[in-house]
Structures are given as C-alpha cells and as structure tokens.
Structure 1
C-alpha cells in the first residue's frame, strides 16, 4: 500500500464535516454508482457484504420516510438531494458460496444461528456504511449520517419482506458550508487509547 497524500487525508478526515443544510444541487445517478463502486471494495468478514442501500432521490420517495423521522431530522432530510437508507440483509449467508467461494462450508456456519447472523450483518453493514461515507467524501459529496428515526417504521415501509433491517440513514449532497456549527471537541489519543 502507498499512503495517500496530505491533501487527500485532510479532505476525507479533517476538512469534511457533517451537514444539515443542503445546496439546491442534484446528485447524479452516475455519482451514486461511482460511490457504490468505491465502497464495495471495503473488507467485510468472510466477504459477507450484508449492506443493502436505497437511494431516495425524489420528493415522493423522501416523503415515505418522513413518518419515521424524529422531528429534528425531518427538514434536513426532506431538503437533502439524496437520502441513503442503509440496511442489512439477514440472508447474507445465502450468498457466501459465491462471495466466499474458497470456503465451501461458510454458509453452514450461519444456518439456524439467528444471533450470530444478526450480529454479523449489523456489524459488517456498519463497517460498509463507514466506507460509504468515505467514498462520498472522496467524490466531493457532503454527508449527514443519522440514527434519529424509527427503524420499525422504515423496515415496514421499505423492506416489508422482513429479511432486510434498517441500520442508519445518510443524507447525501452538497452542503451549505456557511451553516456549519463550530467543530466539536474530540478525545485526545491518551484519553481513549492504550499500548499493551
């Protein structure tokens, strides 16, 4: 691996901020496809790839999620050019013969083990969601990830079959930088890290 340059690191991690107010500027389908292309290379355990994404682009589609949102999240979500609904497929292990083909017994490790399935799917879809945020930033998009919504309402509206469960939402677009709050404090290394 080769380290990326300082400008790229600053773009992805230091300058990037969580946005709540959006420019009236659309995000193309091509950009969203490129976002997925970049993020889908991120590692998951046993290459299980449980993440499922709905990109809500139309006002009609976004209105379907409004009843699930906490009041403080409604306006910024309705204004966002794209709302990504990130879920996890609890049937991910059915695809392991294809996705983890060098281990012919991988699927059997999960069959009938509901807790193991749910933990693996939630954890790995969360990891994939982090890659989605970084991929979006690398393409010049701003993001507004959030968890202030009713999962059961989202699941019933968008995934009524029951095998896909919502994890978190992420508003995507081009943020209005003039409306950002001052950056909040972060823990210093020695407050949360140790060498053993």
Structure 2
C-alpha cells in the first residue's frame, strides 16, 4: 500500500480514515457548541447535488431530551446514547428546496422539479443528507473528537418525537466526544481494491 499520491500528511490520513474508528464509549469531557460550529464550518462546503443542503441536526443536550431519545434506541445503543457527552440526531429536510437560491445557477428545470414533485424531492433530500452525514462524521474526526454513528433505532418514533412538523426524516443518531476506555471494537475487514473496482 502506497501513500505517495495522497496530499494529506500521514497523521491527517490516519485521523480521518485509517486509524479512525466508531467509538462505543466516551469520557465525560463535554462537547461545546463552539466545537460543533467548527465541525459545521468544515462540512458545509462539501458537495451535494445542485448544492442542496438538506441536512438538519438536533443536538440532544438536556436530560429531558435524552430521556425521550434513549428508549427509542435499540439494545446496546441505549447505553451508548445515555452516556455519550453529546448526541446528535441527523435528519433530511424534505422541504430543502425552500432554501435554494432564487437565481438557481445550474439546470433551472431541476429547481422546478424539486418544487413540484414531492417524491423526487424526498428521495433527493435523503440521498444528499446521507452524503452530508458522511461529511459530518469526517468533520467530527477532523477536530479531534470521535463519532459513534448509529442507525439502530426506531425511525418512526424519533421522527414523531423530535420532528413533529413532519418535513424532516431521521437518518442517523451520532454520539460525539472523546473516546473512553474500551471504545473500539476489533477492526473488521475491508474489501480489496479488485473486489470494488473494474475498468471498462
């Protein structure tokens, strides 16, 4: 494996990718609003289709909100979510088109579709917000914190409890903080290059 073609130095490569892991425990060190703002200041620039920005984030800080969320998590995810310093619920805003620029610079007909076709708009919101979820995880790593992303929860329950307006769809719950004791599970194997790529 060679890194000669990678512009990032090895420390940055390891921080973001090779040594980065999903954290399952965290220390008690709090995560500040300033840290979250620093994450967003990085990830907001990452690409999406037509530069739409459907990701919406609920930061679960209060004990009351945490108590509403924990029972909606599955099995072991309940304890992880109960004890993480900060929990974020990441969702797709199906009404993202309301924030598109008035002078839509590329493919103006796409904006017309987003405004008129609910099914196309929701599919686009989910896909592009999912891209932003990935960027968000990288942003957490980039500022020196660990992420514990999870999709093991009651999606309908989370939508009802935290997105009662009905226009947001939960995609992931992410625990955020400094990794604690025993934070890492064993690394699972990854597919080899030849299993993923083919040239035509």
TM-score normalised by the shorter chain: which range applies?
over 0.9
Q: Post-superposition shift, 1:6?
A: 1.7
Q: Does 1:112 align with 2:137?
A: no
Counterpart of 1:101 in structure 2 is 104
User: What is the alpha-carbon distance in structure 2 between the residues aligned to residue 48 and residue 119 of structure 1?
Assistant: 12
Q: Does 1:165 align with 2:169?
A: yes
Deviations 1:20-64 (A, max 9, x none): 111111011100111111111111101110000011123222111
Matching of residues 25-174 of structure 1 within 5 Å = 25-98=29-102, 101-103=104-106, 104-174=108-178
Root-mean-square deviation (CA), in Å? Answer: 1.6
Q: Post-superposition shift, 1:190?
A: 1.0
1:96–1:106 CA contact under 8 A, matched in 2:
no
Q: Post-superposition shift, 1:102?
A: 2.1
User: What is the alpha-carbon distance in structure 2 between the residues aligned to residue 193 and residue 105 of structure 1?
Assistant: 34
Dislocated runs of 4+, deviation >6 Å:
none
1:191 aligned to 188, 192, 195, which one?
195
User: What is the alpha-carbon distance in structure 2 between the residues aligned to residue 44 and residue 177 of structure 1?
Assistant: 36
2:20 aligned to 16, 20, 27, which one?
16
Q: Post-superposition shift, 1:3?
A: 2.0
Deviations 1:82-128 (A, max 9, x none): 11100011111122134x63245543122331221111001100000
User: What is the alpha-carbon distance in structure 2 between the residues aligned to residue 195 and residue 39 of structure 1?
Assistant: 31
Question: CA, structure 1 residues 190+105, in 2 after alignment: closer, same or farther (shift >3 Å)?
Answer: closer
> Which segment is superposed worse, 177-186 or 12-21?
177-186
2:29–2:178 CA contact under 8 A, matched in 1:
yes
User: What is the alpha-carbon distance in structure 2 between the residues aligned to residue 101 and residue 118 of structure 1?
Assistant: 19
User: What is the alpha-carbon distance in structure 2 between the residues aligned to residue 179 and residue 102 of structure 1?
Assistant: 45
Q: Post-superposition shift, 1:195?
A: 1.6
Structure 2 counterpart SS, 1:111: helix
Unmatched 5+ residue regions in structure 2? 1-5
Unmatched 5+ residue regions in structure 1? none
Structure 2 counterpart SS, 1:67: helix
Q: Post-superposition shift, 1:66?
A: 1.6
